[in-house]
Amino acid sequence: MERYDAKKTIAIHELKQMSDKEKLDILEHNYWFFGDKEGIKESVQEGSYPKISEAMIEIIDKTPKPFLNDESETLLVDYQVGRLKHVTNLYLQIKLKDLNPDFKEEIFGEIEKAGLCPCCEYFSIDYGEDGFYDICPVCFWENGGDGPNHMTLAEAKMNFQRFGAIDERSLKYVDIEGVKKYLKK
Ligand SMILES: [Zn+2]
């Protein structure tokens, strides 16, 4: 099975487990710009939102506001698929086997080029400039130096070794499956 299809199968399954409230929360937190279509189109043209694709603008255009219909379902699948960026093919395979014990296919396709988190050293963030200020799902380090993290990288690394996040406060935000998802340096 091709990597994208594997991600989509998992995404659709995850959405089936979600309540409408959870879905609306995702739409409202991640697609807040629904209310300002013209503004967002201009901003995308100016390059302010490099991660919003043409396809996504098309969906925004067709959807009056974040409420649950077929279009927003497409958006939610897109969002859940996006959360599986950079994960290994083996992780996708294990996940699909969890959903269906009879699943025996191999997953093929190249992992999206990922950046290395300087703290936990997993390939868990976007590559290069796209990864500036990304927050690592494995350890919660923000890829912007000591400043935004309010600690030194050395402290964060030590904490990650000790209990699995850059500090105790961030523990509840790290992805519990993070260490299984990404390649390690
Ligand atoms: Zn990390």
For CA atoms 51, 56, 61, 64, give the dihedral sign. negative
89 C-alpha to center of ligand 1: Å?
A: 20
As a whole number of angstroms, the longest Cα–Cα distance in the chain is 48
Q: Please give the DSSP secondary-structure letter assigned to residue 165.
A: S
143 C-alpha to center of ligand 1: Å?
A: 9
166 C-alpha to center of ligand 1: Å?
A: 8
Q: Strand pairing of 114-115 and 125-126?
A: antiparallel
Helix ranges restricted to H, 50-108: 54-62, 70-82, 89-99
Domain ranges of the chain: 3-82, 114-181
pTM for the complete prediction?
0.79
Q: How does pLDDT run across 104-138, given as a tens digit for each residue?
A: 999 999 999 999 999 999 999 999 999 999 999 99
69 C-alpha to center of ligand 1: Å?
A: 35
Q: How does pLDDT run across 168-185, given as a tens digit for each residue?
A: 999 999 999 999 999 999
Angle at CA 113, nearest 5°, toward 18 and 57? 55
